[in-house]
Structure 1
């Protein structure tokens, strides 16, 4: 009896001790998680829904850490998929937290996983990500791949050094007659370039904190010589940067990521969580060296064939019209065909048709954030870098690629000074055209001047353009917010102001290391200080959960814009003599076209094909017909002339690597 009682007491104790474990949430977001913890969290998420999830280990980093992708929807077939990657550079830890939180959102709600498969990769660059947790922090972005940056006999022999022993690598400044920096007279913490036009002469040189370890006269030129996965993809691969690697995909992480995606042609959309932000700022154009599809010169040999003027510039639409007029007939002519024929080269700027949806979704996202009372007056996200995953997904895969920056530092709200006018951008944004133009030229000019509008903006010109309907006050304000603000004479930059204010208010002043004098073996007396790593990209842990809960649901809403291509209807006309005209209507119920303009240009992703199988002869049309492009919320008609002496049933199929197969039985002559 006593033995049974003892077992009972032990069991009760174990049950009581175990209660908090069962009561805890599956995963929480109240701190930044190490690479090991992230792997454990992925396993927990997979084990919570084993029937619908699978954990893929697609690569091992040079440092020996697995790179994992969580598949949500392994039970689904013939459905489109969305790939979500985060923290490719390894120095934006909140984006890894965001990917995990997003996976949890998907598993908590069946709505977004019924007809879409998801692939979630929170940590593609684990070697760099561990830098946030190391004893000496410097914003590490490279993995453990051995690269000899200075091409001598030894690798990694001259990296940064913690001269003041604070566990942070910042900057060092020292006086030098050839220096180009001076201490700002607005804030002694900030160094600014000497303004020669104002008669200033540089007093200081600035270097990353460190010494010449290998005594070659250079400083920190051969530190951790790894590869930055965030800039190691093929589009605009930055060959000149050693940290990108010798070629795209040199490191196993980026190579296996591309292989994983190419092996899954059903991926129809890509999300990237990191430092850029296509969700709030549409992707930028203006890059040189690519194909200019709005200003095409037709070479002489083709101009003669098309009855075109070789001296004239044409748009892509005009060239397509010329080709159709002379050779096309009913054949579909695409921009990719024209680009290949004329040798226009690679596209390096987003296409106009795609910018339309990027711009619309950006405006919608801003409205969404306003409804959530989320402050959007923050520093702009970092533009997407050459060789980045998000650019590769758009330009090479030809799919909608959206990036989201989960945190940037709030801008400093300037107090109005006397004489600067009473109107703010927010005031004008709410006005109608009539209300704005009624202000009069004096008030409008004061508003434009107070908000650093370019000189070409005049009250008279703006009022005339608004009255003619060219744009509204809201559109003007949006344009003014995107313009780089000129630095006011003698003042700190907007970024320096914001970072200093953020350091003072949220980091108790510890976001900036005060300049401290130390002895340097080469320069003698130097001062070490500056902004600390991760200040700009990494909020305090207690803010993580709220930032994720507010912003990530927007990605769920974007997933509803994915194309959905299905049979809509068919029509059969008996022409007599056993000849029939068959018309099949295909509809795209999604908002986005398939493919998007970039996908159409580079023939990626795979085309949709309509197949007909039955006992018929084709007089016009073929049994396998490419659908071509189909716009969002559009219906497209395909037509065949067929002959049969029976009344067969034709099996019509929509075959697609993205959407799977949709089948329809069509009775001929019945």
Structure 2
């Protein structure tokens, strides 16, 4: 009987341990949570080693909070997780809460890493999903006069057909530039004049001209889109970004919070881009080519360089090293500043190496879980986005994840054509005219709406009365169609994908003194050689960090009863690749059997201290 009881207890322990990283069924992820419910969950989480920080208040009076998991830890790297910056991706908020629950339920990923999790940076926009009128807007309640008149927020969209959704209205007009698609009458397409097509409709957002200025819905409630209001590539031409980065309190609070915590060494963003699956895109114009740098004539003679020749960044660094004072650290950041290269706008090649490596690994991870990636492509990161700012300005690995994308249409196997049919007929049936063919996105969205949502993803066109037009119909894609699956899909999507971010947290750089060597040179003079290792799977810093001098440098220190003859007491470690070792050497004068202290200091990573005996 006792043996049987022990076996049952042991089996229960195994079940508990094996389920350590699975959010249990009582976690409440069977629905989308309102702003109030999100804050309630965060407050419930904030106990023990978790602490809730209130970092700002939205223009609508909602709190912006960050959950710190590992508040009892010090001298450890941290990971920052931000979700749903545009406010119209409620699944991303659920993802941040779910990730927090995973971390709270298991210590496997919180022993030596601190986590900062922000589920709702744009609560004003997030609240719209739960409102009676769903617009899909991404702006907060910051008051902006978008049309430059004497009123604010006076001309927003109106629900003309009373369905609680803001879609589009198509207006019969001889001045219109749209026609009904020949492939699917639900869709509108631009008339192609080259093909002799003449527009018959105007297409506008559903609503009235409330301020009678001839424009429709141009000055609605709000605001600033938090998701495009960060400093990197700030889109000044976009009114929804505000006048300058950080104008809205949510963004300023986030910037301040992160700058005050230099230990943040990696950033995750949950939203519509997906660096986990598709590495960051390049191709922006105006970026300096680091493989073909020109040395200005004013520097060429000083550097013994040829102003007519091009140099790689590494070659330029060597040119600078030859002329600076001994011991001066020459970095890519210093060279970029001296040569006035301007800000980087495209991901650096060395960084794309690890992005591509992890993208391939993530695909294999998803395949092993039988999770299909045959979906619409993720949206490229937008100018002014948080994920771009984290990579380009903080100089740390920035991974984004899109937790849901509409699955692509599975093409049915084509039936064998009648062998007697003419080749022309076959060609026409198998390859419809591309000018009239629906885009892959439209095909996918319509098929998904019909199959998964019983058609609710597309509002059928219905006639409505309008004071300004004779013939108006309202319809089109429903808000949140592309970002928000049914509630019963929430937990399966999160449980499958989010553990990958936990695995990535194991890849952080980790410093150690791998070896040491003391050589007696005679006369009380010793040569000390230390080998510093980065035992992590990511370089430190990444190439973008080297380019802009971020994050704070790792410093190798010496301390003790000695006289330093060559070298420095504080030596910047500089760049060390993943799983690589660098050697540092000093000449010093000391008595035999003296102990000195060697250390690795870092504002980002865990410090290392080691005692070294000289001449013993």
- Cα distance in 1 for partners of 2:534, 2:378 equals 33
- Cα distance in 1 for partners of 2:266, 2:251 equals 18
1:149: which partner in 2? 146
The offset of 1:355, in angstroms, is 0.5
2:563 pairs, out of 617, 639, 651, with 617
Aligned to 1:118, the other structure's residue is in SS state: strand
Task: Summarize the alignment of residues 168-183 of structure 1 with structure 2, pairs less than 5 Å apart.
Answer: 168-183=165-180
2:68 pairs, out of 25, 48, 71, with 71
> Is the counterpart of residue 333 in structure 1 residue 321 in structure 2?
no
1:569: which partner in 2? 515
- Cα distance in 2 for partners of 1:637, 1:519 equals 78
2:283: which partner in 1? 286
The offset of 1:192, in angstroms, is 1.2
1:136: which partner in 2? 133
Is the 2:79–2:268 Cα contact (8 Å) retained in structure 1?
A: yes
Is the 2:597–2:609 Cα contact (8 Å) retained in structure 1?
A: yes
> Is the counterpart of residue 530 in structure 1 residue 476 in structure 2?
yes
> Is the counterpart of residue 495 in structure 1 residue 437 in structure 2?
no
1:190: which partner in 2? 187
**RMSD of the TM alignment (CA)?**
1.9
Is the 1:378–1:410 Cα contact (8 Å) retained in structure 2?
A: yes
2:537: which partner in 1? 591
- Cα distance in 1 for partners of 2:373, 2:594 equals 62
Q: 1:557-616 CA deviation, whole Å, 9 max, x = no partner? A: 111111111221211000001110000111111000111000111111000111111121
Task: Summarize the alignment of residues 192-231 of structure 1 with structure 2, pairs less than 5 Å apart.
Answer: 192-231=189-228
Is the 1:487–1:493 Cα contact (8 Å) retained in structure 2?
A: no
The offset of 1:330, in angstroms, is 6.7
Aligned to 2:471, the other structure's residue is in SS state: strand
- Cα distance in 1 for partners of 2:360, 2:489 equals 25
2:9: which partner in 1? none
Paired residue total: 581
- Cα distance in 1 for partners of 2:118, 2:606 equals 24
- Cα distance in 2 for partners of 1:610, 1:317 equals 23
- Cα distance in 1 for partners of 2:181, 2:149 equals 39
The offset of 1:45, in angstroms, is 1.8
1:520: which partner in 2? 466
1:667: which partner in 2? 613
> Is the counterpart of residue 363 in structure 1 residue 309 in structure 2?
no
> Is the counterpart of residue 89 in structure 1 residue 89 in structure 2?
no
The offset of 1:321, in angstroms, is 3.4
1:29: which partner in 2? 29
Is the 1:80–1:267 Cα contact (8 Å) retained in structure 2?
A: yes
- Cα distance in 1 for partners of 2:216, 2:323 equals 64
Cα distance 1:356–1:328, how it changes in 2: closer, same or farther (>3 A)?
farther
Aligned to 1:319, the other structure's residue is in SS state: helix
> Is the counterpart of residue 634 in structure 1 residue 580 in structure 2?
yes
- Cα distance in 1 for partners of 2:316, 2:256 equals 36
1:344: which partner in 2? 341
Is the 2:329–2:572 Cα contact (8 Å) retained in structure 1?
A: no
1:542: which partner in 2? 488
Cα distance 1:364–1:328, how it changes in 2: closer, same or farther (>3 A)?
farther
Residue segments in structure 2 that go unaligned for 5+ positions in a row: 1-23, 418-429
The offset of 1:136, in angstroms, is 0.7
TM-score computed with the length of structure 1 as normaliser: 0.84
> Is the counterpart of residue 44 in structure 1 residue 44 in structure 2?
yes
- Cα distance in 2 for partners of 1:74, 1:619 equals 43
Is the 1:26–1:45 Cα contact (8 Å) retained in structure 2?
A: no
- Cα distance in 1 for partners of 2:411, 2:274 equals 25
2:596: which partner in 1? 650
The offset of 1:176, in angstroms, is 2.2
- Cα distance in 2 for partners of 1:41, 1:636 equals 46
> Is the counterpart of residue 269 in structure 1 residue 215 in structure 2?
no
1:312: which partner in 2? 309
Q: 1:138-168 CA deviation, whole Å, 9 max, x = no partner? A: 1021111111111221110000011111111
Aligned to 2:236, the other structure's residue is in SS state: coil
The offset of 1:241, in angstroms, is 1.3
Is the 1:90–1:126 Cα contact (8 Å) retained in structure 2?
A: yes
2:547 pairs, out of 583, 601, 609, with 601
Residue segments in structure 1 that go unaligned for 5+ positions in a row: 1-23, 421-450, 453-485
- Cα distance in 2 for partners of 1:580, 1:116 equals 38
Is the 1:613–1:650 Cα contact (8 Å) retained in structure 2?
A: yes
The offset of 1:327, in angstroms, is 5.2
> Is the counterpart of residue 253 in structure 1 residue 250 in structure 2?
yes
1:101: which partner in 2? 98
Is the 1:27–1:41 Cα contact (8 Å) retained in structure 2?
A: no
